[in-house]
Amino acid sequence: MKILLVEDNQETADFISRGLAEAGDTLLHVLNAEEGMIQAGSRAFDVIIFDRMLPKMDGADATEVMRKAGLETPILMLTALSGIDDRVSGLESGADDYLVKPFAFAELYARLKALARRKPLAQEAPTVIAVGDLLLERTTQRVERAGQVLDLLPREYRILEFLMLNEGQLVTRTMLLDRIWGYNFDPKTSLVQTHLSRLRAKVDKPFDRDLITTVRGSGYVLSAQ
């Protein structure tokens, strides 16, 4: 991935650039919103990470300006604020995702991957998604594995669909809370884990090979390998 990072805090920038370098991605780091907007205009990036609290200009305002100028590159907003309204205002400005500091690198990376993939997926809008012998038909919400129809609850279907759309990528617990439950708070109970284990009992347990694997402390990956 080619990533643009607009962040004035050197420590956060180092943390992100080290992680991305290890993953083999390309990063351009700029320190302020003006330069960030100029670089974003080149449309050479797959994802933009924009800090919310920048000197002189709010990241949300910058995002709004860029969106009005017709920029379609996915934007992930970073913020130290965790107020209940900050998230909403961040997303309303045109950002595609929103992450509160401090965060685990795995969380950031999973979200970047999901954002980078979203655009082509949306364009193709596949009606059938296949991962290995697992088949999901989006129009009829029919799911089958190895020719056997799986009986899923609506929420289980949505979790599986989201995992399959992000095939081979880490999907974190917070991403699932965001997308499937629409929660912007972190329940202390094992809500996500319980539902995932139920889903796995239907999708993986009756079959030889597990498609869904747990990444300890972070989330889940669905993959045919």
Region near another protein per CB under 8 A, out of 38-46, 107-115, 120-128, 193-201? 193-201
**Judged by CB under 8 A, does residue 104 bind another protein?**
yes
Question: Looking at beta carbons only, is 147 or 217 nearer to another protein?
Answer: 217
Question: Which region, judged by CB under 8 A, interacts with another protein, from 22-30, 49-57, 121-129, 187-195?
Answer: 187-195
User: Closest approach of Cβ 56 to another protein, in Å?
Assistant: 26
Report if residue 22 touches another protein, rule: CB under 8 A. Answer: no
Write the DSSP string, the chain: -EEEEE-S-HHHHHHHHHHHHHHT-EEEEESSHHHHHHHHTT---SEEEEESB-SSSBHHHHHHHHHHTT--S-EEEEES---HHHHHHHHHTT-SEEEESS--HHHHHHHHHHHHHHHHHHHH--SEEEETTEEEETTTTEEEETTEE----HHHHHHHHHHHHTTTSEEEHHHHIIIII--SS--SS-HHHHHHHHHHHHHTTTSSS-SEEEETTTEEEE---
- Of the pair 188, 205, the CB lying nearest another protein is at 188
191 part of the interface to another protein, by CB under 8 A: yes
155 is a contact residue toward another protein (CB under 8 A) = yes
